[in-house]
């Protein structure tokens, strides 16, 4: 039923064969979902304690960079300077910026200002101004392990509506994470996020999603942040993925720049915000690895 061989080592790291440890309890927890046709994760998505520790070490680098950006980002700073700091700190820690040259992306991180939903490209010409809101998104590879996170920054005196969007978007992320429970469908996350966005009259971006991460940059499961009745993959202990809602002040629709092929903006020109963490599913709930 669960896509682990009976004679493979158990995902929990005890060293026993799966059939001698969690096989029976997993079957009991998953039986109903299998019968209803929900996707069940493959073995490679269930990470070992050693692999999880590798991701945690990578996350320490990502967190340190974000903490440095908390002090660095201010009015008058170029997004190119942000990119340079991300690159230098990552290299000093022995890591690699996963963004750089990924499908020809030209920079080491993403910097998305105001109506840019995500994948903004850092530039010397792009200078942060009073009142801007900006998302910085970084992915660190350390010893082959990936950690992915982003934060919002408010520059100077930010209008009340922009401040509210940033705060509500963070609430969406944290509430979505709090919905993570083992042996539940991943759609629980998006359902909670969409409810909060609806309460505030915001749109939830549908064209982009969270994703599995850790051993690769992007893999299963797909983590939609909007409401759906579709049968989505079941979350099980040992899975690692991102929760990264993109919330628009206006409609949920967005568009990709025809000039650079990367920059995603809101279709109606409204403000957008995003927060992101890498999260581990545990036997009792979850652990945020980029906190």
CA distances from 26 to 23, 30, 32, 56 (A): 5, 6, 11, 25
Asked if the structure places residue 20 within a domain, the reply is no
Is residue 65 a part of any domain in this protein?
yes
What distance in Å separates the CA atoms of residue 233 and residue 229, rounded to the nearest whole number? 12
The DSSP bridge partners found for residue 248 are 203, 272
Average pLDDT over residues 119-141: 98
CA dist 164 and 159 (Å) reads 9
Would you say 90 and 77 are in contact if contact means Cβ atoms under 8 Å apart? Answer: no
Q: Is residue 189 part of a domain?
A: yes
Helices vs strands, H then E, count in the chain: 5, 17
* Predicted pLDDT of residue 1: 52
**Residues 156-177: b if buried by 16+ CB within 10 A, e if exposed:** eebeeebebbbebbbbbbebbb
Structural domain contains residue 79? yes
Q: Give the per-residue pLDDT at 168.
A: 98
Q: In the structure encoding, which two tokens stand for residue 252, read together?
A: 């949920």
Copy the structure tokens of residue 117.
Answer: 């939903």
Cα separation of 220 and 260, whole Å? 27
Q: pLDDT by residue (tens digit) across 149-194?
A: 999 999 999 999 999 999 999 999 999 999 999 999 999 999 999 9
Instruction: Judge whether 89 lies within some domain.
Output: yes
Q: Which two tokens stand for residue 204?
A: 């939830």
Assigned domain for 22 exists: no
Q: What's the confidence (pLDDT) of residue 2?
A: 63
Q: How confident is the model at residue 15 (pLDDT cuts 50, 70, 90)?
A: confident
Residues in the chain: 291
Residue 104 lies in a domain: yes
Supply the CATH number for residue 244's domain: 3.90.230.10
Give the span between the Cα atoms of 106 and 257, in whole angstroms.
15
For residue 207, pLDDT beyond 90: yes
Number of folded domains that form the chain? 1
pLDDT digits (tens, 9 = 90+) for 93-108: 999 999 999 999 999 9
> What domain range includes position 253?
41-288
pLDDT band at 248 (very low <50, low <70, confident <90, very high): very high
In the block, which residue shows the tokens 């509506």? 161
Once rounded to an integer, what is the mean pLDDT over residues 269-275? 98
CB-side neighbour CA atoms (13 Å) of 107 = 24
Q: How far apart are CA 103 and CA 87, in angstroms?
A: 18
CB 193 within 8 A of CB 176: yes
Q: Which stretch of DSSP H or E encloses residue 64? A: helix 49-72
Q: Enumerate residues 6+ apart whose C-beta is below 8 A from 170.
A: 152, 275
- pLDDT at position 287 over 90: yes
> Strand, coil or helix: what is 211?
strand
CA angle (64, 46, 191) in 5-degree steps: 75
* C-alpha to C-alpha distance for 201 and 164, rounded to whole angstroms: 12
Q: What is the mean pLDDT of residues 227-249?
A: 97
Residue 62 has pLDDT above 90, yes or no: yes
* pTM of the complete model: 0.95
Neighbours of 189 (CB within 10 A): 29
> Can you tell me the mean pLDDT for 115-142?
98
Planar angle of CA 59, 92, 65, nearest 5 degrees: 40
Q: State residue 213's pLDDT score.
A: 98
H-run or E-run covering 233: none
CA neighbours closer than 13 Å in the CB half-sphere of residue 132: 21
Distance CA 207, CA 182 (A): 26
Q: Is residue 36 part of a domain?
A: no
The tens digit of pLDDT for each residue in 217-228 reads 999 999 999 999
């Amino acid at each position: 039923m669960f896509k682990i061989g009976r004679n493979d080592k158990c995902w929990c790291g005890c060293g026993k064969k799966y059939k001698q440890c969690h096989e029976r309890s997993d079957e009991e927890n998953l039986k109903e979902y299998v019968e209803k046709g929900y996707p069940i994760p493959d073995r490679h998505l269930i990470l070992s304690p050693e692999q999880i520790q590798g991701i945690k070490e990578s996350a320490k680098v990502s967190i340190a960079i974000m903490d440095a950006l908390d002090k660095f980002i201010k009015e008058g700073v170029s997004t190119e300077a942000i990119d340079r700091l991300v690159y230098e700190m990552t290299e000093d820690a022995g890591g690699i910026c996963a963004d750089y040259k990924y499908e020809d992306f030209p920079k080491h991180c993403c910097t998305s200002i105001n109506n840019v939903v995500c994948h903004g490209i850092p530039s010397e010409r792009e200078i942060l101004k009073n009142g801007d809101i900006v998302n910085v998104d970084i992915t660190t590879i350390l010893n082959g392990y990936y950690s992915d996170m982003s934060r919002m920054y408010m520059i100077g005196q930010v209008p009340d509506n922009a401040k509210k969007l940033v705060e509500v978007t963070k609430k969406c992320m944290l509430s979505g994470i709090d919905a993570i429970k083992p042996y539940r469908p991943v759609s629980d996350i998006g359902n909670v996020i969409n409810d909060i966005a609806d309460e505030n009259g915001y749109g939830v971006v549908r064209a982009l999603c969270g994703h599995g991460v850790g051993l690769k940059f992007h893999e299963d499961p797909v983590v939609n942040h909007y409401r759906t009745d579709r049968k989505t993959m079941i979350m099980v202990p040992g899975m690692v993925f991102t929760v990264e809602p993109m919330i628009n002040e206006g409609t949920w629709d967005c568009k990709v720049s025809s000039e650079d092929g990367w920059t995603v903006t809101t279709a109606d020109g409204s403000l957008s915000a995003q927060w992101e963490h890498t999260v581990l599913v545990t036997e009792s709930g979850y652990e945020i690895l980029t906190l």
